[in-house]
Amino acid sequence: MRVPPEVRAVLERADLCHVATVTASGPHVTPMVFALAGDRLWVTTSRGSVKVRGWARDPRVAGVAAHGREAVVFAGLATLYDVLEPSSWGRAIAETPTLALATARFTRKNARFFAGYAVDAHRVPLAWAPPGRVFADLRWERVALIRDGVVARTWGRWGGSVPSRERFRATRAGRGPLEGLPHGVHEDLGRRGTGVLAALGRRGPVALPSAWAAVGAGLYAALPEPVLALADLGTPTVPAALEIDRPSRWRARDMVGAMARGRAEVHAIDRLASGGRSAAGIAREAEVEGDRAALVRIRPEGLVWWRGWSSGTVAVG
């Protein structure tokens, strides 16, 4: 699928792509640097990463990259290129010209991050250094352009209705949903912001730009209902992950973020039989308003966090 010009314009200006893969415990989504080459999006990751293990089992992939008030959402398939994996050598030979182009564009587009690695070279773990990395190309089958929270245009087969639970009741009492994170990570992330909601829909994984808020003991994503419709969820309760982060434009050491993995409960606010006012209030706290706002409660089963090159997991419940 060729990259439409308006999609290319966003991707060339975006710093990061939030890439979702499918694992045995549901969607997994984290930010990655990337580049465009051969009408494909290219990323690199550690050889032993969750994404590499996930793509080896299930190559379906989804992602979202944003710049300003525009975001590109895509879904497709991932292909791995690993010099230590004989099964990928044939692909690498066939793709040699494109791989060379992808490497050059990746280096040029992410020059700031490479400068950050040079500054911190004495601290970079081996898994983050070139010998421990693999390349992957993400070939999109579906692409959507979102502008000012509105689905401006789509390519490929998207969409469906947004299933909704009938009632909503806020989780007010109890421990805050992010309090298990290390103190510095929790403080940096705050209690609201922008993030990425990854969910497993009927056509596979999808990643969508969203706002988020931690209110009382609940963790919520909020987004316009037509944007959520891109996921084609099928049921109002699905496996999901919410990624929130405070990125750096050039230094991996300064990246801070977390991902809550578990179940998502969908509430189309204008269709709720009860609890609509409470749901709308939480959506407003996340700075999402309108007649067709959707509130997604995340029921975390685990938290993954990262700060620079350190990372960890926290059990929930």
- Give yes or no: residues 20 and 143 share one domain: yes
* 288 found inside a domain: yes
For the cut 80, the answer to whether the pLDDT of residue 118 exceeds it is no
The number of folded domains in the chain is 2
CATH number of 87's domain: 2.30.110.10
Reduce the DSSP state of residue 3 to 3 states and report it.
coil
**Residue 115: its pLDDT value, please?**
65
* 276 found inside a domain: yes
- Give yes or no: residues 140 and 188 share one domain: no
**Residue 250: its pLDDT value, please?**
61
Alpha-carbon distance values, 267 to 105, 145, 162, 176, 299 (Å): 42, 24, 9, 21, 13
- Give yes or no: residues 144 and 250 share one domain: no
Q: What average pLDDT is seen over the chain? A: 91
DSSP state of 83: T
Given a contact cutoff of 8 angstroms between Cβ atoms, the answer to whether 173 and 217 are in contact is yes
Residue type, 189: L
pLDDT in tens, 70-101: 999 999 999 999 877 767 767 777 787 788 88
Q: How many CB atoms lie within 10 A of CB 102?
A: 24
Query: What range does the domain containing 67 cover?
Result: 5-155
**Residue 128: its pLDDT value, please?**
61
* 168 found inside a domain: no
Q: pTM (2 decimals)?
A: 0.92
For the cut 80, the answer to whether the pLDDT of residue 292 exceeds it is yes
**Residue 129: its pLDDT value, please?**
63
